[in-house]
Amino acid sequence: MRTLQLIDSLDTGGAERVAVNYANALHDKIELSALAVTRKEGALKELLHDEAPYLFLKRTNTVDIAALLRLRRFIRQHKIQILQAHGSSYFIASLVKMITPGLKLIWHDHYGNSEYLENRAIRFLKWSSKTFDAVFAVNENLKLWAQRTLKVRNAFYVRNFIAEAFPLESSKKFAGIKGKRIVWVANLRAQKNHHLLLDAFEKLLETDPEYTLHLFGEAPNTSYATSLLARITQFPVKKSVFYHGVYLKISAILPHFDIGVLASASEGLPLALLEYGQAGLLIVATDVGQCKEVLAGFGSCVPANDAEILTSALLSLRDTKKEAETNAIHFQKRVQEDYGASGIVKKVIDIYDQII
């Protein structure tokens, strides 16, 4: 079996990390596992397996004939049987399927605003969906949406899986007191709702000023990111909130923290939640996407867009420390057993076999 993962960029987003995870996890399970990037290379290229065939298409337009032909040439050269297109890369994937006889196409839907599917732009997607042999969806909502809206018969809910953790970087030091370091791994985008977390964190500091909040993620050149970075330099949070930027091997440093938080307004199946569990952190997350299902009662799941309840949930971890720590141990085990690569990759290969 020979597969190619396709993604528009290798910036440090969730879908991009999943594409790299697939390319790496399949490397020693099938005959060939490759990765192609359409528009923009990025930091995640560093995490790709050294032996994985790789192509950068240098695509500049929606219909870029040169990029399309480069992709077809790569597919023919490596005898690719299955093309798995992640997120917005579906359009060029559909075009290349039309000119590559025998190629099977899977669209992997990572849509993060799964609570607001009625607002999704689908004109090109509906056209492209006629070429899909299957759809992988990161949550049940997206699977049902693909079946009902795109009329795709072979739609599967396939859980995101987590790569093996990197060795702990024990020399790293972070501000704050053990037991009171909160971390959030999320690019600085409005969907992630960092301002809500800062509202909750300000209330938390009124009760206990020893807490610190550590933010990791890319800061794009947007008004949202600019306003957020400005806010954390101001009273009352400027001595308690730290922005660390992008850290590729995040699993190597997460054990330095105590509480993992997710305050998003909407999600699919966030990898950050799995990474928190892998690191054994206590967890507070908003009830969006698959978060409640993933946590399975082993963390606090609170309504989105409610700073007061988020503050209360964070304080509750302190007040019920033993129970929270026990939950963290159970969740760590759940992540290892249910969201590790081996079981999910086996399911994916079974689906590949059905499609070929």
Residue among 167, 2, 131, 20 nearest 78 (CA): 2
Whole-angstrom distance, CA of residue 200 vs CA of residue 71 = 47
Cα torsion 163, 167, 168, 169 to 10°: value is -110
For domain 181-338, say whether CATH 3.40.50.2000 is its number.
yes
Q: Tell the residue number behind the tokens 């997350």, with chain if given.
A: 285
Whole-angstrom distance, CA of residue 335 vs CA of residue 356 = 30
Whole-angstrom distance, CA of residue 245 vs CA of residue 161 = 24
Whether this prediction's pTM lies above 0.75 is answered by yes
Whole-angstrom distance, CA of residue 183 vs CA of residue 341 = 24
Phi then psi dihedrals of residue 249, to 5 deg? -95, 65
Q: Which CATH superfamily is domain 2-161+340-355 in?
A: Glycogen Phosphorylase B; (3.40.50.2000)
The yes-or-no answer to whether 2-161+340-355 and 181-338 have a common fold is yes
Residues 283-323: pLDDT tens digits?
999 999 889 999 999 999 999 999 999 999 999 999 999 99
| Domain map (residue ranges) of the chain | 2-161+340-355, 181-338
| Residue 64 amino acid letter | D
Peptide bond into 255 cis (omega under 30): no
Residues 186-224: pLDDT tens digits?
999 999 999 999 999 999 999 999 999 999 999 999 999
Residues 16-56: pLDDT tens digits?
999 999 999 999 999 999 999 999 999 999 999 999 999 99
CB atoms within 10 A of CB 174: 13
Using DSSP's 3-state secondary structure scheme, residue 116 falls into helix
